Amino acid sequence: MTELATDLSRLIVQLFALWLIAVAALCLVRPRLALKGLGAMGSTPLIHFGEHALRALVGLALIGVSDATPWPQYFLWAGVFIVASSALIALAPRRWHHAYAMFWARRLPPWSLQVMAPFTAAVGGALMWVFS
């Protein structure tokens, strides 16, 4: 892989890490709004395919930068899993995706997002550390 491609992959993963930290902050401070966002997943073709295109991009970036990490196999297989699961969900009927999102948005209590937020932020921070 070229240096430019590796640098671009690293930038994409760093942006994803910042996104994880921002989502963690949203879940901590405004959990009901985060649940509303979760419930919107798959609700329109743009949201459905946009979500999975971005997920696949992050997965490809993890694959692309995996050799530049101390744990290349972990990042490679995480990227492969993200790309494959994104493709499968994108190809499934959108109503299934939306129904699954609504299932969880209705059942997760707001406090559960606040409990999970520090772990999400820690993953984002760890990714920033590995790829800085």
Report d(CA 65, CA 76) in Å as an integer.
Answer: 8
State the burial class of residue 52 (Cβ atoms within 10 Å of its Cβ: 0-12, 13-18, 19+). Answer: buried
> How much of the chain exceeds pLDDT 70, in percent?
99
The CB density around residue 113, as the number of other CB atoms within 10 Å, is 22
pLDDT above 80 (res 73): yes
pTM over 0.75: yes
| Residue-wise pLDDT tens digits, 83-114 | 999 999 999 999 999 999 999 999 999 999 99
Range of the structural domain that residue 25 is part of = 3-130
What is the per-residue pLDDT for 54?
Answer: 98
What is the per-residue pLDDT for 105?
Answer: 98
What is the per-residue pLDDT for 43?
Answer: 95
Number of domains in the chain: 1
